[in-house]
Structure 1
Amino acid sequence: MSLTKSVYNLLFRRTSTFAVTIMVGAVFFERLFDQGGDQIFESMNRGKLWKHIEHKYASQDEE
């Protein structure tokens, strides 16, 4: 009970801190979700994306 009461008093008691907590949480969740989705996409398409096959098609005569 002590932990939940402390979190409530620190983050959710006042409307202003509640709103800031929600906004910061949304930003962190968005970054986590975006990076996780990119990682899943990359792993499912390994060997099919341009950055994985670029070396096969790069010009050899560039000096």
Structure 2
Amino acid sequence: MSFVKTVYRSLFRRTSTFAVGILVGAVIFERVFDQGSDALFEELNRGKLWKHIKHNYESEDDEA
């Protein structure tokens, strides 16, 4: 129960800290969700994306 009291006293007691907590949580959630969905997309489309197959279409002469 002391953990709940500590969280209440440090985060939920004042509106300003509650709002900052929500903003920070939203930014962290957005970053984690974005990176997770990108990783899932990469895994589901392995071998189909340009960065995986571009070596088949590029030649040594094109790198100039």
Give the TM interval when normalised to the shorter protein. Answer: over 0.9
* Structure 1 residue 60: Cα displacement: 2.4
> CA–CA distance in 2 between the matches of 1:7 and 1:50?
47
Indicate yes or no: 2:15 matched with 1:15. yes
Identity of aligned residues (%): 68
> What code does the residue aligned with 2:15 have?
T
- 2:59 aligns with 59
Structure 1 stretches (4+) deviating beyond 6 angstroms?
none
Paired letter, 2:52: H
Q: After superposition, what is the alpha-carbon deviation per residue over 1:29-54, rounded to whole angstroms, capped at 9, x for unaligned?
A: 00000000000000000000000001
Query: Which runs of 5 or more residues in structure 1 are unaligned?
Result: none
TM-score (norm 2): 0.92
- Alignment match, 2:37: 37
Residue matched to 2:50: 50
Whole-angstrom distance in 2 between the partners of 1:23 and 1:61: 50
Number of residue-to-residue matches in the alignment: 63
TM-score between the two structures when normalised by the length of structure 1: 0.94
CA RMSD of aligned residues (A): 1.0
In structure 2, list runs of 5 or more residues that go unmatched: none
For residue 61 of structure 1, give the secondary structure of its aligned residue in structure 2.
helix
